[in-house]
Amino acid sequence: MTVKASIKETTGAAEEELGEALGNDKMADKGRQLRNEGRIENGKMPKTHTPGTEKDH
């Protein structure tokens, strides 16, 4: 687990949540991508459900 990957995951999660709160799907998707980059670098499975829901794509 690297610090850089943890920062990506945390920053991506924050951006995803903010995008969801503002109703900005593009921002939420961008945050999800960054979050998943960090998760993969840390050896975790990426999040696969659509941002703002708990449903799979």
Q: What's the pLDDT band for 48 if we cut at 50, 70, 90?
A: confident
Per-residue CA distances from 47 to 5, 7, 31, 55 (Å): 15, 16, 11, 11
Identify which has the larger pLDDT, 55 or 46.
46
Query: Residue 29, class by beta-carbon neighbours within 10 Å (0-12 exposed, 13-18 middle, 19+ buried)?
Result: middle
| Residue 24 DSSP label | -
pLDDT at residue 51 is higher than 70: no
Residues 17/13/16/53 CA torsion (nearest 10 deg): -70
Among residues of the chain, what percentage have pLDDT more than 90?
A: 77
pTM for the complete prediction?
Answer: 0.81
Structure tokens at 56: 């799979």
